[in-house]
Amino acid sequence: MKTTITILFTVLLFLAQGQESQYQQAMQKAIETLNNSVTPDEYIPLANTFERISTAEPDEWLPLYYAAYAYVVTSFEIEDGNQKDRYLDKAQQFLNKAFEIAPEESELFALQAFLYPGKIMVDPMGRGPEYMGKIYEALDKATQLNPDNPRPYFLRAITTLNMPPEFGGGPAVAKPIFETAKEKFESFQRATPLSPNWGKEINEAEMSKL
């Protein structure tokens, strides 16, 4: 009897490890491709890939995160406002599902803050007052949940840089925030090899302009 139970647990463990290995491999391949992509024609198929992975792994928030990220990045490459909104709405749907799995994940709130400027770009005058407050609310929450996460600082710096000086923005105010983000990027340790790792290069490029 004990031998049968031991064999059963061994088989179950082997199957679980195989499934985990497939998930890790699929995610690593998709993330690597994502990091080397630059156009909507590249991002959209990747979003679909991450969606398929999330369907196979319904308890994992990272596939949903990267699907949302791919759509957010795509939206910044699109001129048409209606199409931009459609991509951002898709991103929000994936984010909402990810929040259900990991409601206290700093990276999700940082990505939420990254999504909102896209909404503003569709209608700056009409949406600015609504979404600016949401951006800072999401950034504050991301920082609160993980003060070592560099992405909220980087996104706050970008937001501040592009805000008129009369509203508390501009290069002089943004520079020290970029510097803080740089320090955070230098010391940041990802939770897993699949965890988000973007923003460092852009942060340094923006700092070099100041």
Which pLDDT score is estimated for 20? Answer: 65
Token pair listed for 97: 């599902």
Instruction: Name the residue range of residue 154's domain.
Output: 123-210
Average pLDDT value for the chain: 90
Ranges of the chain whose pLDDT falls below 50: 1-18
If one counts the domains in the chain, the total is: 2
Tell me, yes or no, whether 46 lies in a domain: yes
Token pair listed for 190: 């990802």
Tell me which amino acid residue 202 is.
I
With 0.75 as the threshold, say if the pTM is over it. yes
**How far, in Å, CA of 188 to CA of 159, rounded?**
21
**How far, in Å, CA of 210 to CA of 44, rounded?**
33
Measured distance between the N- and C-terminal CA atoms of the chain, rounded to whole angstroms: 72
Tell me, yes or no, whether 87 lies in a domain: yes
Q: Do 132 and 209 fall within a single domain?
A: yes
**How far, in Å, CA of 197 to CA of 24, rounded?**
16
Which pLDDT score is estimated for 167? Answer: 79
Tell me, yes or no, whether 99 lies in a domain: yes
